[in-house]
Chain A
Amino acid sequence: MSDHDYKPKSKVGQWFNDRLPLLTLANHLTDYPTPKNLNYWWTFGGILTFCLITQIVTGLTLAMHYIAHADMAFESVEHIMRDVNYGWLIRYIHANGASMFFLAVYIHIFRSLFYGSYKSPREIIWILGIIIYLLMMAAAFMGYVLPWGQMSFWGATVITNLFSAIPLVGEGIVTWLWGGYSVDNPTLTRFFTLHYLIPFLILGLVVLHIWALHVPGNNNPVGIDIKKPSKDTVPFHPYIVIKDGFALLMFMIVFAFFVFYAPNILGHADNYIEANPMVTPAHIVPEWYLLPFYAILRSVPDKLLGVVAMLSAILILAVLPWLDTSKIRSAVFRPLYKQFYWILVADVLILGYVGAMPAEGLYLLIARVATAYYFLHFLVILPILGFKEKTLPVPLSITEPILGGSPNLATARNKESKIE
C-alpha cells in the first residue's frame, strides 16, 4: 500500500479525490504489485468474482418471474423455462452457475492448501474465505429448494431436520425454521428471502476478503515473502488482468458447454417432479458439491454426533492456520506434506463419491475410513508434520532461482516446475 502519494492529474480529479479518494483506490487496484510467478491456480479468485456477479445478475432476473409459493413455484419455473424471453438461458446459467461457482471455490481452496496461503500473515483472508464458503453452501442449499421439486422438498426436509439433533431445544428449533410442522409454504418464502439476501452478504465479505488480501499482498507458488514493488512483482494491470481474463475465458467455455449442451446433467431428475409431501424419493441426495459433507454426516451412526462431525469438518478449516505448524508455506518445499496433500484430495473425492451412494455395506465402511482420515489429516498429521518434516531449501526471492543463483536454488526451481 505505497500509493498514498497518488495525485490525480486534473483539478476536478484532485478536488473529488480529496473528498472521496476513489481515484486513489482505483490507482491502488491497478498498480497493486503482484508476484510475477503466480500460476493459473491463482486465477480462480477472479473467476469466483465473475461467478458471484453472474449469480447475482441472473438471480435478480429470475426473481422478477419466480413466485415463491408452494402451489405456484414449480409452475413459475416452468413459465420461466417456456414463456419468458431467454428464461431458459437465464435459469440454466443460474443453476449451472452454482455448480461452476463451487467448482471454482474448491480449486481456490485447494490451491490455498497446497501453497500454504492460509498461513501468517494471511489468516484473516483465509477465515473470511471460510465464512464465504459457509454462506455459499447456505445460499446454494436454499436456492435448490426454490424450484419446489421433489429433491428440493426432501432435501430441505432432511437438512432442516438435522437441527432436531440438538438436545432439548432441537425440535423447537426445527418448527421455528419451518414456520410450521413440516416443510411448507412458510419455509419456501423464508428460504427465498434468505437466498436473496445471502449473495449480498457474500459480496460484502468478498470486499473484505480482497481488502485483507491487499494488506500483505498475494502469496505465490514459492511461498516466500517478497519485497513490493520489486523485480519480483508486476503491476496488477495489465499483467494480471489479462492473465485472469484469459483463464476466465477458458472457464467460460466449460461453463457454456454445461449451460448449452448438458444443462441438467449436474441436477437430479427428481427435481423435475413437483414436490409431493406424500411420496419420498428412493434416494435423497444433495447437489454434488455438498456430497463430501453428506458422506461425513451419514458415516456417524449417531444423529447429533453426525451433525457435529459434519460441521467440524468445515469449521476445522477455520483453525487450519494454527493446526499447520510448518513455517514453510509452499508444498513445493515440503516433500512429505505434498504427498499428504494429494492423499487429502483423493480422500475428499472419495467422500464425494460415497456421498452419492446409498449409506450401506462397503460404501458406509469407505465413508467411515475416509471421514476418519479427513480429521486425522488436520488434527494429527499437519501438527506433527511441521516438526518432523525435512523441508527443502527455500530461495530468497522469486527472481533469484530463475537467474540461476546458488545450485540449491536451481534444484528448488526444478522441483517447482515439476509439480506444476
Chain B
Amino acid sequence: MKYLFKLFSIIIIIITSNSYSFAAEKVEYIKTEWSFKGLFGKFDRASLQRGYQVYTEVCASCHSMKYLSYRNLAEPGGPEFSEAQAKAIAASFEVTDGPNSDGEMFTRPGKLSDKFVMPYDNVKAAQAANGGAYPPDMSVLVKARGGGVDYIYSLLQGYEEAPSNVSLDDGVYYNKYMYGNKIRMAAPLSDGLVEYGDGTNATVEQMSKDVTTFLMWSAEPHLEARHQMGFKAIVYLIILTVLVYFSMKKIWSRIESEV
C-alpha cells in the first residue's frame, strides 16, 4: 500500500511538472482569486452576467462565439439569466434564416435556439475588417491559451507604452503578456466603458475579471456540474476503496501471507 501511494504521488508530480514545462511563456501573470477554481469551485453568477455584458457590448463587435446559443445563457451553471431575459437578449439580434417558401433568405429576431450571431460572415471578412488579423473565436479561447484565465485576465490589463527599443507598425500595440509583446488588438477596455446594471464600478480590472469569468464559462459550460460530480465520485471511490481494503485484509488473513 505504501508503495502504491508513493508511486502515485511520484507519477503525478512527474506528469504535472512535465506538462507545466510545455508553457513556453515565462511571464508572471497578474494573480487574482477565481471563484470557479478548487474542489467546489462555482461561477460567480453576477460576475458572469456582467461578463456577458462586457462581451456583448465590447468584444462581440469583432470576436465571434459560434459554439454558444442564446439558450445557454439561461441554463443552470451559467449566467442563469431568466428565460424571459435570455429571450429578450436573443430577440435583440437579427438572425438570417431561410430560405423561405419563395426561396429567399430573410432576417428575423433571434430565438433561444439560435447560435450567437457572428460579427463577420466569415474569416476573410473578419480579416479584411481588422487589418489582416483574425479576431479568434472566443467560445473556447480560455482553453486554447497556455496560461488559461490568468493569461486572458492579464492580457486585458497588459497594455502599456512600448519600450523605446521596440518599434511598432501601424495597428500594432504593445502588451507585456502577449507572446512576442505585439498585438493587433487595441486596448479593448477603459474605465467606465460599460455601465453595469448592478452598480458595480466598471474599472478595467473589474471588467477584465468579469469577462474572463464569462469566457471560462463559455469554454467549460458544465464546469460546475463537473466539480459537483467529481467530489461525489471521489468520495464514493474512497469509501469503496476503504471497504475493499478491509475485505482484502480479511480474505488474505486466511493464508500466511502479507498483502
Residues from chain B with Cβ under 8 Å of A99 in the complex = 15
Asked if B84 is at the interface of the complex by the 8 Å CB criterion, the answer is no
Return the CB mask of B1-41 against A: 1 if under 8 Å, else 0: 10110011001101110110110100000000000000100
Count class of interface residues, chain A = 35 or more
Partner of A249, one of B143, B144, B241: B241
A-B contacts counted at CB < 8 A amount to 125
Q: Which residues of A contact B67 (CB under 8 A)?
A: 75, 78-79, 82
Q: Whole-angstrom distance between the alpha carbons of A268 and B18 in the complex?
A: 12
- Contact call B8/A250, Cβ cutoff below 8 A: yes
B11: chain A residues within 8 A (beta carbon): 103, 107, 254
Report whether A239 and B22 are in contact in the complex, using a CB–CB cutoff of 8 Å.
no
Chain A residues closer than 8 Å to B221, beta-carbon distance:
81-82
Q: A88-B226, A353-B21 are in contact. Are A250 and B143 (CB under 8 A)?
A: no
Are the CB atoms of A256 and B230 closer together than 8 Å? yes
Known contacts A243-B259, A249-B237, A256-B237, A264 near B143 by CB under 8 Å:
yes
Q: Is the CB of B140 within 8 A of A242?
A: no
| CB-nearest residue of chain A to B231 | A260
A265 to B16 Cα, complex, angstroms: 7
Hey, which chain B residues are within 8 Å of A247, CB to CB?
Answer: 4
Which residues 62-114 of A have a CB within 8 angstroms of B?
A: 75, 78-79, 81-82, 88-89, 92, 99, 103, 107
Is the pair A254, B145 in contact by a Cβ cutoff of 8 Å?
no
B200-233 vs A: 1/0 string, CB under 8 Å?
0000000000000000000111100111011101
Known interface pairs A103-B11, A242-B251, A243-B259; A78-B140 also in contact (CB < 8 Å): yes
Which of B12, B140, B146, B226 has the largest count of A CB atoms less than 10 A from its CB?
B140
Which single residue of chain B is at the shortest CB-CB distance from A99?
A: B15
Hey, which chain B residues are within 8 Å of A340, CB to CB?
none
Find chain A residues with CB under 8 A from B39 CB. Answer: 261
Query: Is B230 within 8 A of A242, CB to CB?
Result: no
Return chain A residues, CB-CB under 8 Å to B7: 40, 107
Say yes or no: B1 contacts A40, CB within 8 Å: yes
A239 surroundings in chain B (CB, below 8 A)? 251-252, 255
Within 8 Å by CB of A273, from B4, B136, B256, B257, lies B136
At the interface with chain A, which of B42-50, B160-168, B191-199, B242-250? Answer: B242-250
- Most B CB contacts (10 A, CB to CB) among A238, A261, A265, A291 go to A261
Q: Main SS of the interface on chain A?
A: helix
B256 closest partner in A (C-beta):
A402
Known contacts A78-B140, A238-B251, A264-B143, A250 near B234 by CB under 8 Å: no
Which residues 253-273 of A have a CB within 8 angstroms of B?
253-254, 256-257, 259-266, 268-270, 272-273
Which residues of A sit under 8 angstroms from B252, Cβ to Cβ? Answer: 239, 242-243
CB-CB under 8 A from B105, the residues of chain A are none
B139 near A78 with CB under 8 A, answer yes
A236 is an interface residue with CB less than 8 A from chain B: no
Closest to A289 in B: B15
Chain A residues numbered 199-241 whose CB sits less than 8 Å from any CB in chain B:
234, 238-239
Q: Are B3 and A288 interface neighbours, CB within 8 A?
A: no
Q: Could you list 19 A-B pairs, sorted by A, with CB under 8 Å?
A: A37-B257, A39-B3, A40-B3, A75-B67, A81-B221, A81-B222, A88-B225, A107-B11, A245-B244, A249-B237, A250-B8, A252-B237, A253-B234, A256-B230, A256-B233, A260-B229, A260-B234, A261-B230, A420-B3
Give 4 nearest A-B pairs by CB, closest first: A260-B230, A272-B144, A249-B241, A272-B143
Additional A-B contacts beyond A260-B227, A265-B16, A272-B144 (10; CB < 8 A) = A36-B255, A78-B139, A107-B7, A245-B244, A254-B12, A256-B233, A256-B237, A263-B226, A283-B22, A356-B21
B residues with CB within 8 A of A: 1, 3-4, 7-8, 11-12, 14-16, 18-19, 21-22, 24, 39, 67, 72, 136, 139-140, 143-146, 148, 179, 219-222, 225-227, 229-231, 233-234, 237-238, 240-241, 244-245, 247-248, 251-252, 255-257, 259
